[in-house]
Amino acid sequence: MKTTRILPLAIAILSSLTLHAGKNHSHEKKVAGPNGGRLLVSIEPHAEFFVTADRKVQITFVDDALKPLAPAGQVVTVTTGERSAPVKMSFAITNNTLLSEQTVPEGNNFPVVVQIKTSPDAKAIVEKFTLNLSNCPDCKHAEYACICSHTH
């Protein structure tokens, strides 16, 4: 009688674990933006988040073929740096991209929150990730924009 109770319980637990493990598993191939930055796909048009050599953040809007699009009234705010002293970045249009007026603080690994409004009165779409500026040994992109399938 105990086995008739244990077997359904074991099956339920294994099924739950299998379903949970599959939630974070994606077969979608990661793609870098045209400059080698992180592609933010939760917004239309998609946007590339890229840290320039002088540590400014560049946001480039792209079409489905990853061709750059001129900004069209989007409002972008990026917050990064140490939680005790965050840097809130504002942007200006430069060469059909949005370029931050502030720089990323010194260091290599910060939380980042990107807020993009498609128009000034629209609700913000929020992306959160770790801004790890170290280079990935496999794909040669910065870790924040890595397109490999390994765990970071």
Q: Has residue 25 got a pLDDT over 80?
A: no
The residue assigned the tokens 């809130």 is 88
Give me the pLDDT at residue 32, please. Answer: 84
Beta-carbon neighbour count of residue 97 at 10 Å? 21
Domain ranges of the chain: 38-145
What is the distance between the alpha carbons of residues 105 and 10, in angstroms, rounded to a whole number? 50
What's the rounded Cα separation, in Å, for the pair 23 and 5? 28
How far, in Å, CA of 95 to CA of 92, rounded?
Answer: 10
Classified as helix, coil or strand, 135 is strand
pLDDT in tens, 101-151: 999 999 999 999 999 999 989 999 999 999 999 998 888 889 999 998 765
Q: What is the pLDDT of residue 6?
A: 57
User: Based on the number of CB atoms within 10 Å of its own CB, is 102 exposed (0-12), middle (13-18) or buried (19 or more)?
Assistant: middle
Instruction: Please give the structure tokens belonging to residue 111.
Output: 């939380």
SS3 130: strand
* 46-103 residue pLDDT tens: 999 999 999 999 999 999 999 999 999 999 999 999 989 999 999 999 999 999 999 9
C-beta separation of 139 from 117 below 8 A: no
Give kind and range of the element (H or E) at residue 102.
strand 97-103
CATH 2.60.40 fits 38-145, yes or no: yes
Q: What DSSP assignment string belongs to 47-76?
A: EEEEE-TTSEEEEEEE-TT--EE---S-EE
